[in-house]
Amino acid sequence: MTLAATACFPCANAAFAQEADVGGAGDVDAVEPAASTEEIVVTGSRLPGTSLSSSAPVNVLTEQQIRATGATNVGELLRSIPAATSTAGEGAGRGNSGAATVALRGLSAVNTLVLINGRRVISASGGGTVDLNSIPFAAIQRVEVLQDGASAIYGSDAIAGVVNLIMRDFYDGLRLSGYYGISSRGDLPTGQIDVTFGHEWDRGGFAFSGSYRKSGGNLMSDRPVSRDPDWRDRGGRNLRNPLPIITAFTGVDPANPEMQYIIREGVEQATSLADFRPYIFPGTDDPLTSGNDGTNFFEYTSAASDLENLNFFFNGHHEVASDVTAYLEASYSHRKSFGFLSFDSIGAAYNSPVVVAADNIYNPFGYEVSASRAIIEQTSRDVRQNNIRTNTFRIVGGLRGRIFSTWNWDVSYNHQEMEEHNFRGRGIILSKMRQAAGGPDVCNFEVDGCVPINLFGAPGSITPEVLDFISADSSSFSTAGLKSAVANFSGPLFSLPAGTVNLAVGAEYREESFTADYDPLSEQNAFISRTLLPDAFPPTRKVQELYAEIGIPLLRDLPLINSLDVEAAVRYSHYNVFGSTANPKVGIKWRPSEDLLIRGTWGTAFRAPTFTEAFGGQTNGFQAVVDPCAGDDYASYPGCGGEQVTGISTGGAFVLSGGNPELDPETASNLTVGAVYQPGFVPGLALTVDYFRIRKENIIGSPSVNYIITENALNGSFADRVRRDPDGVIDQVIAVRENLLDQEISGIDAQVSYVTGVNSWGKLNLQGNLTYLDSYKQPPAPGVEMIERVGTYDPAYGTLARFRGNALVTWTLDAFSLSYNGRYVGPAINNSSLLVNGEHLRADDYLQHDLQISYAIDPGDMTFTFGVRNLFDRMPPFLEGNFNAAFDSTSFNSTGRFFYTSIQKDF
């Protein structure tokens, strides 16, 4: 794997010499730009060398830059990178799990590979994503983001790019730090304590980091952008939950049997029709004065989860013999998080009708009525939730050294385990709810413990005894494992007139496993408003890989060719579940002059199906379908064979959905071409621009049931997926996950960085990044023409803004340091909104300003920091129609203005 690089490298940034571990504000970026001659290993390559620029664009965040952002976790930090178009965190809304993920280039998070010191990190779920909250933030020395495909170097998942977290591998002394922050609204309190200590000796050293972080959550309705999903006052729709917190009934008025009535406000117990009024659920065009009996579920839904993190990380090495060093990395993470959704609801609107029997003891009418209601009596323990306890353990041990004086070798074993307990709340069981609404013949406490339910009272009429009978705990337990053995060798092969040819070769054997065990009721889909969750015990995935990479210097010191180098790599991967794949990559670096580098790469990449995609449990549920062969125009569908289906149909069919072990990997080709300009007449200045293009095929997804049926009727395709009875009526559709679509993405990355020397007025460090997304095309269905999605928002893709950028400026004078961080996301057409004059609504652009000031005492021994994130309290762009959050929670959060302070002491 990538060696724990012993020197910081610039890539697209200005060059930095190797950094000492610095502390105070006066030390921030104290190292002058210089031409490093120490061997380095750049993320995206395994060839050590002395080049200060790689053939592919890499964005580097140093320890000082990380500190200047004010971030306290990896997910929050990576939002500042424009290429990170989608980043989920504990503030991602709607009862989120508390995990944090990162996604580059607008692709889903499974297309971005996350590494620690160049080694794979265990997935936190069957969905194949890494929980960034399991990585000790205090132990991170720098972050390297490769913005290019890298399957030839790292294997699966590196389609959009690679996030490589370089951890501190040496320290001499003790550092203590404390952090506290809170929003300007008095919520989201966040406290963190970090300790780092280590020791160096002649033949080795170690560094240990420990951190404890606790942060409070808040409700969706606590912020103006998501105060209420009734958006009529903003020109939008009313998307409240149509089921009210006071029971609404159908059938209480024999003269209007289809009319819905709701118990009047102030009535403790309804005894006659006089205690009811018409139920109001206004449409889009209704005036605001019409009222609204729908439930504002944002008042009962968490935006940010309560989170508690305990992380430890150890990194040590010792020279056990001449040119042989033993090393050990070990980490442990414990996370507790709590996020919740609103109450369970009953009613025909959610396909969970409950009929109150005529002889139910609380029914005052003496005839059956149908009830609709949110079960507001559920406590915070009862509601749908993700109450998670996760433990993640990682240990890496190995030996590295040199042979023949010039060749490096590295052998290691990587063992990781994860286990997660998730209490999903105490859910309402539909069958028991219906039983409790029945008469004495079906609800008898002496016989089966049934307690009759009172749906005719004010909120609170459902007693704890009733709740105990009609509900049950919902939970899950999942595990994951990763084991890998790796051997790497690199060194010079021979010399050419232009320089030395370097080679890196290696092999890896890896085993990955995952299991998910749900409680029996969750497996049966017995709960209201909850998804059927089948167990998953897929086979262990076994991977055997070989790789080789070569760097060839072609020309040197010629007119217009200061240097010309070629790199080539290939990786062969064999999976026990789907076979083999080989992925090449080539790169070129041409320097017309010492100041200018022109670079480019081309390669292929792949993503193996995740455990959920390939082996997730299959369910056979009944759904409404449309059969063209049963319609009047059946003759226009050749697949119908000229015959109309006339058999008796319910209008629906059983649909088998879920995992598919026959899936193939997703594949991609990546092209990157760019330039780096570091003018010698302006020391410390670097300008970069890179064009990127990703073409992706065999994208895994769940096909539309009606699409399968229509294609079968049109041309006879999917013949094995549409099953009919002897009368021709559809009785089952196979709609498991498939390799469905293609995709094309292109754009431009640009960066400027400038670091001045130390002057009488201080020192200035400036870095700006801009990503221009030129095209993002994907068809809505297989065989359909691609649609351009740049400049749009869609729940499936997130915000695909044409422009994203950030700027980080730090000014340092003696003991003072002042930092400004700005983040910009361009506007987008909201494809989830209603149509106004035939067009979707537009989401505004977004600009956030952060400030931080630090003061160091006794040359860096103690540093005080105060900062404000989102200085002007900017809310995320409003997205009409997004009932999950009212904004894109993968690109933004609704924290608003946030104050924080920290103190750091070195001993």
pLDDT score of 4 more than 60: no
Lowest mean pLDDT among 99-103, 490-494, 510-514, 647-651: 647-651
For residue 266, give every residue at least 6 positions away whose Cβ sits within 8 Å of its Cβ, in sequence order, or none.
none
pLDDT at 1: 36
Q: What is the DSSP letter of 877?
A: P
- Nearest-angstrom CA–CA distance, 97 and 476: 13
Burial class of residue 307, CB neighbours in 10 A (0-12, 13-18, 19+): buried
Q: Smallest Cα–Cα separation from 675: which of 685, 691, 688, 693?
A: 688
Q: Are 14 and 678 in contact (CB under 8 A)?
A: yes
Mean pLDDT is highest, among 47-56, 547-556, 792-801, for 547-556
Mean pLDDT within 858-881: 91
Dihedral over Cα of 91, 92, 96, 101: its sign: negative
Q: Smallest Cα–Cα separation from 886: which of 845, 847, 835, 830?
A: 830
Per-residue HEC secondary structure of 180-210 comes to EEEECCCCCCEEEEEEEEEEEECCEEEEEEE
- Nearest-angstrom CA–CA distance, 208 and 176: 12
pLDDT score of 796 more than 60: yes
pLDDT score of 901 more than 90: yes
- Nearest-angstrom CA–CA distance, 181 and 73: 13
Q: What is the DSSP letter of 229?
A: S
586-599 per-position pLDDT tens digit: 999 999 999 999 99
Where are any strands of DSSP class E within 235-368? 248-250, 260-263, 276-278, 302-304, 306-321, 324-340, 345-346, 354-356
pLDDT at 646: 83
- For 293, 873, 897, the CA distances from 227, given in Å and listed in that order, are 16, 16, 17
What is the CA angle 443-448-451, rounded to 5? 45
706-720 per-position pLDDT tens digit: 888 988 898 888 888
Q: Are 696 and 159 in contact (CB under 8 A)?
A: yes
- For 294, 792, 801, the CA distances from 834, given in Å and listed in that order, are 19, 14, 20
253-264 per-position pLDDT tens digit: 999 988 999 999
What mean pLDDT value characterizes the chain? 87
pLDDT at 88: 62
pLDDT at 64: 82
pLDDT at 247: 93
Lowest mean pLDDT among 128-132, 439-443, 587-591: 128-132
Q: Are 818 and 852 in contact (CB under 8 A)?
A: yes
pLDDT at 32: 32
11-42 per-position pLDDT tens digit: 333 332 223 333 333 333 333 333 333 456 66
Specify the length of the chain in residues: 907
pLDDT over 70, % of the chain: 93
pLDDT at 341: 86
Structure tokens at 136: 């000790």
Q: Smallest Cα–Cα separation from 150: which of 772, 689, 602?
A: 602
What is 483-527 written as a DSSP string?
Answer: EEEEEEEEEEEEEETTEEEEEEEEEEEEEEEEEEEE-HHHHHT-B
Structure tokens at 438: 């029945």
- For 373, 461, 471, the CA distances from 268, given in Å and listed in that order, are 16, 8, 24
pLDDT at 16: 29
Q: Smallest Cα–Cα separation from 765: which of 822, 817, 811, 818?
A: 811
3-class secondary-structure state, position 299: helix
pLDDT at 220: 92
pLDDT at 874: 96
Which phi and psi (to 5°) does residue 468 adopt? -60, -35
To which residue do tokens 């200035």 refer? 764
pLDDT at 15: 30
Q: Are 252 and 261 in contact (CB under 8 A)?
A: yes
- Nearest-angstrom CA–CA distance, 112 and 85: 11
Cα maximum dimension of the chain:
100
pLDDT at 650: 64
Going by pLDDT thresholds of 50, 70 and 90, the confidence category of residue 94 is low
Mean pLDDT within 755-771: 91
What is the CA angle 229-231-234, rounded to 5? 145
Element holding 690 (H helix, E strand): strand 685-701
Structure tokens at 796: 């499936």
pLDDT score of 693 more than 70: yes
pLDDT at 817: 93
pLDDT at 27: 35
Q: Smallest Cα–Cα separation from 345: which of 293, 386, 422, 278?
A: 293
Q: Smallest Cα–Cα separation from 822: which of 874, 893, 890?
A: 874
- The distance from CA 86 to its chain's CA centroid, rounded to whole angstroms, is 7
Pairing of strands 828-830, 792-794: parallel
Per-residue HEC secondary structure of 578-603 comes to CEEEEEEEEEEEEEEECCEEEEEEEE
pLDDT at 67: 82
- Nearest-angstrom CA–CA distance, 45 and 701: 32
Question: Which of the two residues, 875 and 133, has the higher pLDDT score?
Answer: 875
What is 708-747 written as a DSSP string?
Answer: HHHHHHHH--STTTEEE-TTS-EEEEE---EEEEEEEEEE
Burial class of residue 594, CB neighbours in 10 A (0-12, 13-18, 19+): exposed
- Nearest-angstrom CA–CA distance, 247 and 268: 12
Q: Smallest Cα–Cα separation from 343: which of 371, 301, 311, 315?
A: 301
- Count other Cβ atoms within 10 Å, centred on residue 299: 14
- Nearest-angstrom CA–CA distance, 6 and 2: 11
194-227 per-position pLDDT tens digit: 999 999 999 999 999 999 999 999 999 999 999 9
Q: Smallest Cα–Cα separation from 546: which of 607, 606, 486?
A: 486
What radius of gyration do the chain's Cα atoms show? 30
pLDDT at 284: 81
- For 410, 490, 496, the CA distances from 493, given in Å and listed in that order, are 18, 9, 10
Mean pLDDT within 728-749: 90
To which residue do tokens 């059969």 refer? 627
pLDDT at 859: 67
353-373 per-position pLDDT tens digit: 899 999 999 999 999 999 999
- For 343, 374, 425, 428, the CA distances from 529, given in Å and listed in that order, are 9, 11, 12, 9
pLDDT at 34: 34
What is 347-410 written as a DSSP string?
Answer: BGGGTB-EEEPTT-TT-SSSS-EEEEEE-TT--TTTSSEEEEEEEEEEEEEEEEEEETTTEEEE
Question: Which of the two residues, 114 and 49, has the higher pLDDT score?
Answer: 114
Which phi and psi (to 5°) does residue 475 adopt? -155, 170
- Nearest-angstrom CA–CA distance, 156 and 577: 14
For residue 210, give every residue at least 6 positions away whose Cβ sits within 8 Å of its Cβ, in sequence order, or none.
136, 138, 194, 195, 196, 311, 312, 313
805-814 per-position pLDDT tens digit: 999 999 999 8
Pairing of strands 846-857, 862-869: antiparallel
Lowest mean pLDDT among 5-14, 397-406, 542-551, 637-646: 5-14
pLDDT score of 678 more than 90: yes
Question: Which of the two residues, 530 and 785, has the higher pLDDT score?
Answer: 785
- Nearest-angstrom CA–CA distance, 577 and 541: 7
pLDDT at 347: 85
- Nearest-angstrom CA–CA distance, 606 and 841: 36
69-91 per-position pLDDT tens digit: 878 788 778 877 888 776 666 55
- Nearest-angstrom CA–CA distance, 127 and 544: 22
pLDDT at 93: 61
pLDDT score of 531 more than 70: yes
For residue 783, give every residue at least 6 positions away whose Cβ sits within 8 Å of its Cβ, in sequence order, or none.
711
